[in-house]
């Protein structure tokens, strides 16, 4: 029987797993290397598939109170500002998938998860470095912390993954993301549409959307660049460099970037597909096993789904942890692999790659622009319609 679980990493995936397991009466301890919990200011998108899990865990209402619900999903030409694709989100997601599409500040989601986990007795030990695992626990600061179930949710540079799969090191994708937020009060009224907007251009793209009820504008600007390979989310960038990189882009983006006081740089890494996600009683979750480029807005959602499915498999197979983790991998790996591939393809689409000024992706966007009237959100059914709270029999 699973009485105790150890988790390496107190990010979104790790805390979601901690909460899901604790709700089953399992004693959970989370080990986090950082000296204190907290997330750098940035947003993330919680599509209906993620919200189904978070609502199932009892977090739907507190998230609604701090989130922003976008009206549309848009793809715009980054130079002219012309709409290329428009998809309804706010009303359609609830009607079609039974869950909302929300934008939240990462720190707000992190705090909500942490508070809910602590209320159920989850221990969160900061300043604790996980260096690997044994047959019966995690190696933390030179000691073995034993548990029935051990989870590596320690990100792209996971020590658990490095031990389990030493030949599958992360690889730089040649893309760099600038991230940050700007108070809406510092911008002209209506400058940024109340939507999940992707601005596409040659060799780069920008994502904009609102957070905290519309009081903040979040931006993620991704460019193709090979001189920065730091995977940390906490490295400061120079707002003047950001503005210079996107010189010539649409005036609304220029105005937004002129108002930026602080931005963070984040080199985007990928990883070859792992042959397995578990070894005995130790399993992997989120970026530790399937890092996903932020080009489908599904990285956090996949980690949240992982946590729910892993907890569900653990509850079904309480006497055989290794079998539970193998089932979890069978259920999750095909979906994660598929969405990783879709995110990679979006890099070609959003960056208008290819000859003749990206003629092929421009044609694809032109065709896509005519589909919503006929298909609505149906092309996203396999993503948004997925329900991790319902395990197959």
Half-sphere exposure of 282 (CA within 13 A, CB side): 25
In which order are the strands placed within the sheet that holds 27-31? 123-125, 27-31, 4-8, 149-152, 282-284, 278-279
> What string of DSSP letters covers 4-35?
EEEEE--SHHHHHHHHHHHTTT-EEEEE-SSS
Distance CA 18, CA 26 (A): 9
209 is catalytic: yes
Distance CA 211, CA 217 (A): 6
Whether 199 and 248 have beta carbons less than 8 Å apart is answered as no
Q: Which of 209, 210, 328, 386 is catalytic?
A: 209
Q: Is 298 exposed, middle or buried (0-12, 13-18, 19+ CB in 10 A)?
A: buried
DSSP code, position 129:
-
Angle 220-221-226 from CA coordinates, rounded to 5°: 125
303: enclosing H helix or E strand? helix 299-316
Half-sphere exposure of 272 (CA within 13 A, CB side): 7
Distance CA 230, CA 109 (A): 25
Q: Please say whether the dihedral angle defined by the alpha carbons of residues 276, 279, 283 and 289, taken in this order, is positive or negative.
A: negative
Catalogue the active-site residues: 209
């Amino acid at each position: 029987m699973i009485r105790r679980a150890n988790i390496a990493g107190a990010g979104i995936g790790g805390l979601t797993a901690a909460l899901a397991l604790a709700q089953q009466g399992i004693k959970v301890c989370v080990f986090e290397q950082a000296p204190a919990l907290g997330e750098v200011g940035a947003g993330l998108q919680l599509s209906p598939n993620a919200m189904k899990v978070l609502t199932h865990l009892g977090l739907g209402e507190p998230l609604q109170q701090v989130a922003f619900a976008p009206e549309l999903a848009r793809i715009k030409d980054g130079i002219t500002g012309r709409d290329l694709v428009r998809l309804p989100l706010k009303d359609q997601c609830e009607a079609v998938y039974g869950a909302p599409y929300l934008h939240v500040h990462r720190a707000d989601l992190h705090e909500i998860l942490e508070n809910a986990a602590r209320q159920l007795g989850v221990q969160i030990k900061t300043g604790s470095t996980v260096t690997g695992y044994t047959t019966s626990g995690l190696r933390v600061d030179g000691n073995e912390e034993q548990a029935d179930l051990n989870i590596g949710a320690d990100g792209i540079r996971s020590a658990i993954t490095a031990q389990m799969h030493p030949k599958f090191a992360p690889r730089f994708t040649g893309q760099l993301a600038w991230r940050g937020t700007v108070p809406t009060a510092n911008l002209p009224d209506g400058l940024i549409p109340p939507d999940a907007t992707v601005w596409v251009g040659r060799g780069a793209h920008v994502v904009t959307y609102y957070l905290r009820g519309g009081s903040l504008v979040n931006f993620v600007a991704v460019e193709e660049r090979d001189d920065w390979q730091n995977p940390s989310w906490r490295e400061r960038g120079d707002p003047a460099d950001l503005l210079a990189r996107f010189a010539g882009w649409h005036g609304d983006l220029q105005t937004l970037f002129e108002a930026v006081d602080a931005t963070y740089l984040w080199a985007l890494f990928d990883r070859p597909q792992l042959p397995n996600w578990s070894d005995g009683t130790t399993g992997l979750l989120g970026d530790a096993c399937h890092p996903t480029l932020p080009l489908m807005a599904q990285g956090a959602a996949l980690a949240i789904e992982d946590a729910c499915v892993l907890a569900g498999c653990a509850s079904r197979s309480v006497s055989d942890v290794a079998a539970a983790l193998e089932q979890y991998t069978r259920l999750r790996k095909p979906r994660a692999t598929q969405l990783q591939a879709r995110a990679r393809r979006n890099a070609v689409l959003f960056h208008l790659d290819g000859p003749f000024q990206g003629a092929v992706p421009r044609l694809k966007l032109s065709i896509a622009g005519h589909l919503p009237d006929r298909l609505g959100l149906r092309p996203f059914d396999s993503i948004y319609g997925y329900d991790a709270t319902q395990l197959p029999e």
